[in-house]
A and B are shown apart, each in its own frame.
Chain A
Amino acid sequence: MILAFFEWCEATAIGESIRVSIWAFPVIESIHLLGLCLLGGAVLIVDLRLLGLGLTQQRIAALARQVRPWLIGAVALMLLTGVLLFLSEAVKCYYNRAFWVKITTLPVALAFTFGVKERMAKEWEDASTRSRLMGAASIALWFTVAAAGRWIGFSG
Chain B
Amino acid sequence: MLVERFLEWLGATPWSVALLESFWVWPLLESAHVLTLGLFVGTAAMMDLKLIGASFRTVPFSEFRTRMLPYTRFGFALMVITGLLIFYSSPSRYYYNIFFRIKMIVLVLSGLNIWLFHSRILLREGAWDRDARPPRAARIAGGISLVTWSMVVVAGRMIAYNWFDCSMQPQPDWVNWAAGCILPPQ
Contact = CB atoms under 8 A, between A and B. Distances in A.
27 contacts: A29-B157, A33-B153, A33-B157, A34-B154, A37-B37, A39-B42, A41-B45, A41-B46, A44-B39, A45-B43, A48-B71, A54-B67, A54-B68, A55-B64, A57-B63, A58-B59, A66-B55, A67-B46, A70-B49, A70-B55, A142-B38, A146-B35, A146-B38, A150-B31, A150-B35, A151-B27, A154-B27
A127 interface: no
B155 to A, nearest CB: 9
A77 interface: no
A30 B159 CA distance: 11
B103 to A, nearest CB: 12
Given A30-B153, A54-B68, A154-B27, A66 B42 contact: no
A56 B30 CA distance: 33
Interface of B: 27, 30-31, 34-35, 37-39, 41-46, 49, 55-59, 63-64, 67-68, 71, 149-150, 153-154, 157-158, 161, 163
A41 B158 contact: no
A103 interface: no
A36 B158 CA distance: 16
Contact of B58 (A43, A56, A62): A62
Contacts, number: 102
Interface string A60-73: 00100011011000
A55 B58 contact: no
Determine the main DSSP class of B at the interface with A. Answer: helix
Contacts of B34: 33, 36, 146, 150
Contact of B45 (A38, A43, A143): A38
B68 A45 contact: yes
Given A42-B46, A56-B67, A37 B35 contact: no
Interface in A118-151: 142-143, 146-147, 150-151
